[in-house]
Structure formats: structure tokens, C-alpha cells
Amino acid sequence: MPSQKPIRVIRAKQPFSDWLKRLWQRRETLWFFVWKDLKVQYQQPIFGLLWSVFQPLIYFAVILSVIRFSGRTTTETQMPFELYLLCGLAIWNFTTSVILGGMSSMQSNAGLVTKASFPRLYLILSPLIKSLFDLAIVLVIVLVAAISMKVQIPLLFPVHLLLSVLLILPVSFGFACISATLIVWNRHFRHAIPILLYATIFVLPIFYSMDKIENQWLRFFYHFNPIAGAMEVLRNGFNPFIWNLNPMLLWSISSIVVLIIGTFFFRRMEQTLADEL
């Protein structure tokens, strides 16, 4: 009996401009996903708001308690340590929410992906937009904490806040695209990525200052790490005398590079996404 020849599938490559045009033309589908995510979380507004701030405040309480009970000093920062910690956790919580939200959206909408035609990138954009609402709530808590600690809020604080958000958006979206691609390529990554994300709470300068790091390799890592950069820019918003554009340029370039890499890999995987899921 003659052996059956393997079937070769040839797919036409879609130009990048047409791909972007399709994203814009089908934007109503994106708003549907966003509305669905917000409806699920804020169907009961009080519990939705509490859930938005629950995770960062729990980490805040745990880290602060460990540092206080261990006898470690918290005077190495140029602002109240509680406010310093809140700023770091706000950025870290947003990044992890976008990445884990993108992974969860990819898995929960697997049936829809195999049956309907729509830009798959919406499955990553939707958690990102929802996480922006959560970030806004956490930033309000940061401002309330600063006022309660009698920390002066300079006039340039909104500029720092905007720059911090602009830094964290591309890198969070890029890592979310990479994570979604990995869990489709190999299902074991859906268990490994959350563990790695929660481990970054010790790697990133959330509860310690970058200025106190003496290791040159670590300082080099932080100078090219846009997540750490977003934390520092937000914290510097409470200090009107700090304004250094050199690391800002490096952080911006790194953030855009991660965005380009993540979008590239996700777009390559998008054509076979229905088959892989």
C-alpha cells in the first residue's frame, strides 16, 4: 500500500499594513472583549474595586511586616518607605495583571478562536485596557497615601505619572504577547510563567533602592529594564529635584524593543493559533 504523502499547507502572508488596518476596522470586537472583562469584575462595583486593590495591598502588608519584624532599616529611600513600596507595587501589579490576563484570555476564549474570525491580538489588548482601570484605582490610593503622609506633590507629578505609564504599556504588552505565544507553543509554560512573574518581586527594585546597588551587572540590568524605570519615574514624581533623561532614553528603547519582539512572535503564531489551541 503506497504511503500517503504529507500535506503541505501554504498560507498567504498578510502585509503588516493590512494587518494594522484590520485591527482598526474590527475595533468593535475589541470593545466587546473589554466590556465583557469589566462587566465580570465590576458587576458588583464594591467587590470589583476591592479586588482591584486587594493584591497590591496584600503584598504591601506582607513585605512591610517582614521588613519591620526583621529589624531592617527603611531609611535608604528619599521618601517614606511605605509610599516607595506602594509605587513599586502599583507598576509591578499592572505588569503581572496584563501578562497573566493575556494568558487567561487566550485559554478561556480557545473555543471562540477556533470558531470565529477576529484579530487574535484583541485577546491581549483587552486585559491590558482592563488593567489600566485597575492601575488608575491603585494610583489614586498612592496619591491618598502621599497626602496622608504629608508628602508634597510637585506640579510636574502628572508628567512623571504619564511617562511612567507610557514606559510600562509597551513592555507589558510585549511580554504578554510573548507569554501567550509560549503557552500556545508548549502548555507547560502556563504553569512556569506565573511562578517566574511572582519571583520578579524580589528581582525588581520594589522594596529596595536602585541607588544602593553596588553590583555593576545589576545596575546595567536596571538601566535597560523599563519596568524598573517606570517605578523610578513614578517615584521621582514626588521629588521635584530629580529629572534625568539619560536612563529614560534607555528605558524607552528597551520597552519599544520588547513591544516589537512580542508583536512579531504573536503575529507569526496568529495564523496557526486555531490549530494549536
Rounded (10°) angle between helices 122-148 and 81-108: 160
- Is residue 88 assigned to a domain? yes
Is a pLDDT exceeding 70 seen at residue 137?
A: yes
Tell me, what's the pLDDT at 162?
A: 93
**pLDDT at residue 151 greater than cutoff 80:** yes
For residue 112, the model assigns a pLDDT of 77
Mean model confidence pLDDT for the chain: 82
Domain assignment present for residue 249? The answer is yes
| Helix, strand or coil, per DSSP, at residue 35 | helix
Note the pTM of the prediction, 2 decimals: 0.85
Instruction: Tell me, yes or no, whether 4 lies in a domain.
Output: no
Q: Is the pLDDT of residue 170 over 70?
A: yes
What's the rounded mean pLDDT across residues 170-193?
89
Question: Looking at residues 65-81, what average pLDDT do you find?
Answer: 71
pLDDT at 10: 47
Most confident of 46-55, 96-105, 107-116, 240-249: 96-105
Name which of 182-191, 211-220, 238-247, 260-269 the model is least confident about: 238-247
119-155 burial, b at 16+ Cβ within 10 Å, e below that, comes to: bbbbbbbbbbbbbebbbebbbebbbebbeeeeeeeee
2 lies in some domain: no
Q: For 6-35, what is the mean pLDDT? A: 73
**C-alpha span between 133 and 125 (Å, rounded):** 13
Average pLDDT (116-132) is 87
Question: Using an 8 Å Cβ cutoff, are 140 and 53 in contact?
Answer: no
Mean pLDDT (whole number) for 102-107 = 85
- pLDDT tens digits, 59-71: 888 888 887 776 6
Region label for 150, one of left (φ > 0), alpha (ψ between -120 and 50) or beta (otherwise): left
| Number of domains within the chain | 1
Report pLDDT for 258: 95
- Does residue 168 belong to any structural domain of this protein? yes
Q: Domain residues for 120?
A: 30-68+75-276
- Is residue 217 situated within a structural domain? yes
- Region 154-174 average pLDDT: 93
Band of pLDDT at residue 174, cut at 50, 70 and 90: very high
Handedness of CA 120, 121, 124, 130 (dihedral sign): negative
The answer to whether position 11 is within a domain reads: no
Residue 19 has pLDDT above 80, yes or no: no
Four-residue CA torsion sign, 245, 248, 253, 259: negative
Q: Give residues with Cβ within 8 angstroms of 145, minimum separation 6.
A: 82, 83, 86
Percent of the chain with pLDDT over 70: 85
Give yes or no for a contact between 159 and 133, defined as CB atoms under 8 angstroms apart: no
**Domain annotation covers residue 13:** no
